[in-house]
Structure 1
Amino acid sequence: MIIERSMNDDFLSNTYLVGEAGGSGFFVDAGGPVAPLLKAAKEQDVDVTHVLLTHHHWDHVSELAQILEAFPDAEVLIHPQERPLVADEFSGHITGTMEPGDEIAVGGLTVKTLHTPGHTLGMLSLLVDGNVFTGDTLFKNSVGGVRAPGHTTFADIKHSIMDVLLALPGETVIRPGHTDPTTVADELETNSFVRIWRGVDPEGDETCTALDEQATLVHLGDDYDGGHKAWVRWPDGSDDIVPGSKVVRG
């Protein structure tokens, strides 16, 4: 199996080409730059039959048209709850939907869809041959936020990470929607959010201001872009994952 990755320098978002040399293949997301992936598909004689979108955000769909110029018959699929949220300039390219638990055959590969809401309501992770493409749910030593457009809840993203993604075999390679790959085993051991959820490390209780509101800083962890993600608790006891830049300590 071939896996090629291209990362957008502006957003650090990943687009992947997955397939078999001399056979069929698919794209995971379309945030670009797709040119090197189209070149790789041509060089390795991969016929792209599908574009599978993890979610609707612009940095994951912005170069969809370029893929379809090269492979006009490719099916473009997304979760049905994400489909109406795709920006108008890209929505006409969506050809269908994929439901959680679907198995999509692409040549000799089978892609299983896993529902991993939190960052968005219809976020799908894609499992194929020991690799899981996690969109904006789980990153290397970080987690997705739950304040982006179309988000759901802290409880959702925690469940998606702990009970769906990190329940996969330890050797499963995690290929996130931003920056570097990791494995299930590594994230269980080293991800600072996961360690607290596992009960290995304690929660914090520092007073802070988050999004201009009083809160408790439960944890300030790394983010994929070199910044931070913050787990905060509001006075009513509810939790959130917010950008670290939106938190003032003390």
Structure 2
Amino acid sequence: MASEPVVSPIFHPPTGTWQFVVADPTTKSAVIIDPVLDFDPAKATISTPTADALLSLVHEQGYKVEKLLETHAHADHLTAASYLQTRLAEQQQSRPDVCIGRRISQVQETFAPRYGITRDEFQGVFDHLFEDDEAFCVGSIEAKAIHLPGHTPDQMGYVIGDNVFCGDSLFNADVGSARCDFPGGNALDLYSSVRKILSLPESFKVWTGHDYPPGGDGRTVPLPCQTVREQKERNKHLRDGVAKDEFVEWRKERDGGLGEPRLLHYSLQVNVRGGRLPSISNAGDRMLQVPIKFEGQAWLARLTRMGQAIPL
């Protein structure tokens, strides 16, 4: 009988992100799910202490990382997948594949033109694109990639042993569910995806992509997982008994009042490239584009009349 994986959850407080190292204790084969680069938008600097901590854990445990798994193109953090791939190729003398669901192409085609990303910078940047329900293994442990759209169209979950790593499809019971207002997102799809997760055996653990401890009930420490049973009984948005139409109406109303994630534009431009950075400009810089919005059209009109038109 195959063993259950050893799951090492690592929390990234600045973005509320859970990263996971998942390993077969028998073979020491492992995968890393949703790794994070550290990014300071005020200084426009990228650093790697969080990713380096993952490398240290892998080295200390004697794991061999075979795959780097992305659940989707994140809008709230920069992925460390490309960085880790390079470092692991040196550390373990083999290059793990960077993997994501096949619908990443839809997301790339949506956002690349917005940010002026050329096709050669995003085509083929992922080593493997999972099909829906595609089987794979982590060492001797059976695993499966499942499509969980709603938050984004490319969202994938990974069932590994008696665990499901669901990305942003479902949060802990006292947080509820993720927004669905990004391009290709859909509240009805999210409802169906969560029902798929909650149809798994009740003892399965649901490992979420983020946690934002609400504090209202005294919980201030991030929680990486809950069982399917706990989610079915207690999830404040999607527990058993919540009607589809009720959830869809509430989710649309809620999403209409939300602002953009703080790192939205930076994240998407790196993540559709598979974690690779933009090409170096003629001036020797790597550039990320951030759209500018103007508050007060009268102010903009005055500048235009004064011959100081601002290109939009």
Q: TM-score interval w.r.t. the shorter chain? A: 0.7 to 0.9
Tell me the CA shift for residue 108 of structure 1: 1.1
Aligned counterpart, 1:184: 228
Distance 1:53 1:241, change over 3 A: farther
Q: Are 1:157 and 2:190 an aligned pair?
A: yes
Tell me the CA shift for residue 31 of structure 1: 2.1
**What residue identity is the alignment partner of 2:101?**
H
Q: Are 1:44 and 2:61 an aligned pair?
A: yes
Q: What do the CA deviations read for 1:111-141 (whole angstroms, capped 9, x no partner)?
A: 2111110011121111011110010000102
Aligned counterpart, 1:106: 138
CA distance in 2, matches of 1:58, 1:90: 16
User: Match for 2:148 among 112, 116, 119?
Assistant: 116
Partner-residue secondary structure (3-state), 1:192 = coil
User: Match for 1:85 among 101, 107, 127?
Assistant: 107
Aligned counterpart, 2:159: 127
Gaps of 5+ in 2: 38-49, 90-94, 212-222, 260-312
CA distance in 1, matches of 2:78, 2:105: 12
**What residue identity is the alignment partner of 1:139?**
F
Q: What do the CA deviations read for 1:20-49 (whole angstroms, capped 9, x no partner)?
A: 345211111122522222111111110001
Aligned counterpart, 1:96: 128
Distance 1:133 1:143, change over 3 A: same
Distance 1:66 1:243, change over 3 A: farther
Tell me the CA shift for residue 241 of structure 1: 5.1
- Identity, in percent, stands at 24
Tell me the CA shift for residue 154 of structure 1: 1.1
Aligned counterpart, 1:198: 241
**What residue identity is the alignment partner of 1:183?**
T
Distance 1:29 1:61, change over 3 A: farther
Aligned length: 212
Aligned counterpart, 2:80: 63
Aligned alpha-carbon RMSD (Å): 2.8
CA distance in 2, matches of 1:8, 1:91: 29
CA distance in 2, matches of 1:198, 1:240: 20
Q: Which has the higher strand share?
A: 1
Tell me the CA shift for residue 60 of structure 1: 5.5
**Bigger RCO of structures 1 and 2 (CA < 8 A, at least 6 apart):** 2
Q: What do the CA deviations read for 1:160-201 (whole angstroms, capped 9, x no partner)?
A: 002x10001111111010022111101111112124x6159x
Q: Which has the higher helix share?
A: 2
**What residue identity is the alignment partner of 2:104?**
E
CA distance in 1, matches of 2:105, 2:19: 19
Comparing 136-145 with 90-99, greater Cα deviation is found at 90-99
**What residue identity is the alignment partner of 1:27?**
I
Tell me the CA shift for residue 244 of structure 1: 6.2
**Matched-pair contact (CA < 8 Å) for 2:97–2:128:** yes
Comparing 114-123 with 53-62, greater Cα deviation is found at 53-62
Tell me the CA shift for residue 58 of structure 1: 4.5
Distance 1:174 1:100, change over 3 A: same
CA distance in 2, matches of 1:71, 1:93: 17
**Matched-pair contact (CA < 8 Å) for 1:154–1:240:** no
User: Match for 2:178 among 121, 144, 148?
Assistant: 144
Q: Are 1:13 and 2:46 an aligned pair?
A: no
Tell me the CA shift for residue 159 of structure 1: 0.5
Tell me the CA shift for residue 243 of structure 1: 7.0
Asked which structure has the greater CA Rg, the reply is 2
**Matched-pair contact (CA < 8 Å) for 1:3–1:19:** yes
Q: Are 1:75 and 2:97 an aligned pair?
A: yes
CA distance in 1, matches of 2:153, 2:147: 9
